[in-house]
């Protein structure tokens, strides 16, 4: 089974430099604006240099936030974490910085810390659209935790994490993992329901996976007719063709 998890790094919404730099020290504000322009152009190292120059003049939370974004974009995760944490020391309820920090933790594969940080965003934000996007990111983090728990042989913990993932967002890959896991655990009705939801909310995954696990669940329930129906659907997907054909061969 393919597991393509792509983190939706939403929050990196640049502050409007013309507005937010007005109450800064003028020299720091000028460097801040120049850094923002470089960041927008994709020149992350140049942006970081400008922010560092600005920070020598003023330890402003906005400059630290933007520096954190530039470091994150430049894949300097430990430094990005430090910059964002310092920004939050100066402005603890800054939802953009909290959200960005949650994204950094995710990229560092510290999924529990990522979720904890995203929870703080939900507690402080008044923007429902923004909160919905944060919930999607939390769902991705829980899905990763579920996947890790599955690989580690902790089925019960994996189910817990994956159920939290789909509560937060109807994430097709989480439903598919739940289907696979429930087949392995012998929870065949739950597997069928999860696979049906994977099909219902399908976005990135193919139809082959859900059909394959529905077929397996019906096979184990002793419903050979339905098992063949879904396994035949699954074998039209190149990813599941050989395994579906193997299972069909066992049913002859």
The tokens describing 97, both together, are: 């910085």
| Res. 19: pLDDT tops 50 | no
- Give pLDDT tens digits for 32-66: 999 999 999 999 999 999 999 999 999 999 999 99
As a whole number, the mean pLDDT across the chain is 91
- Give pLDDT tens digits for 75-102: 999 999 999 999 999 999 999 999 999 9
More confident residue, 149 or 15: 149
Say what the pLDDT of residue 201 is: 97
- Residues 6 or more apart in contact with residue 77 via CB below 8 angstroms: 71, 104, 107, 108
More confident residue, 140 or 22: 140
SS3 labels along the chain: CCCCCCCCCCCCCCCCHHHHCCCCCHHHHHHHHHHHHHHHCCCHHHHHHHHHHHHHHCCCHHHHHHHHHHHHHCCCHHHHHHHHHHHHHHCCCCHHHHHHHHHHHHHCCCHHHHHHHHHHHHHHCCCHHHHHHHHHHHHHHHHHHHHHHHHCCCHHHHHHHHHHHHHHCCCHHHHHHHHHHHHHHCCHHHHHHHHHHHHHCCCCCCCHHHHHHHHHHHHHHCCHHHHHHHHHHHCCCCCCHHHHHHHHHHCC
Lowest mean pLDDT among 10-14, 27-31, 84-88: 10-14
**Fold agreement between 15-91 and 182-252:** yes
Mean pLDDT over 184-208 rounds to: 97
Say what the pLDDT of residue 22 is: 62
Distances (CA, A) of 173 to 47, 115, 151, 182: 36, 18, 16, 14
The domain ranges of the chain are: 15-91, 182-252
Lowest mean pLDDT among 5-9, 24-28, 96-100, 163-167: 5-9
- Report the topology of domain 182-252: 1.25.40
| Res. 153: pLDDT tops 90 | yes
- Give pLDDT tens digits for 100-139: 999 999 999 999 999 999 999 999 999 999 999 999 999 9
- Report the topology of domain 15-91: 1.25.40
Say what the pLDDT of residue 24 is: 87
């Amino acid at each position: 089974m393919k597991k393509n998890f792509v983190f939706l790094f939403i929050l990196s919404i640049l502050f409007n430099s013309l507005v937010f730099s007005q109450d800064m020290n003028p020299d720091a504000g000028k460097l801040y604006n120049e850094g923002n322009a470089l960041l927008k152009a994709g020149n992350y190292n140049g942006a970081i240099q400008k922010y560092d120059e600005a920070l020598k003049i003023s330890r402003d939370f906005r400059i630290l936030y933007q520096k954190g974004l530039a470091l994150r974009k430049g894949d300097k995760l430990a430094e990005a974490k430090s910059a964002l944490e310092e920004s939050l020391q100066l402005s603890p309820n800054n939802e953009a910085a909290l959200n960005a920090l949650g994204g950094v933790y995710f990229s560092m594969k510290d999924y529990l810390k990522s979720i904890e940080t995203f929870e703080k965003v939900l507690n402080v934000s008044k923007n429902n659209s923004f909160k919905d996007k944060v919930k999607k990111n939390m769902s991705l983090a829980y899905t990763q935790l579920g996947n890790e728990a599955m690989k580690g042989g902790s089925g019960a913990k994996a189910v817990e994490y994956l159920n939290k993932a789909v509560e937060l967002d109807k994430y097709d890959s989480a439903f598919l993992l739940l289907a696979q896991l429930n087949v392995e655990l012998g929870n065949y009705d739950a597997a069928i329901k999860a696979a049906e939801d994977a099909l219902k909310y399908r976005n990135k995954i193919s139809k082959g996976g859900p059909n394959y696990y529905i077929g397996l669940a019906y096979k184990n329930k002793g419903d050979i007719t339905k098992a063949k129906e879904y396994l035949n659907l699954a074998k039209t997907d190149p990813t599941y063709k050989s395994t579906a054909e193997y299972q069909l061969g066992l049913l002859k």
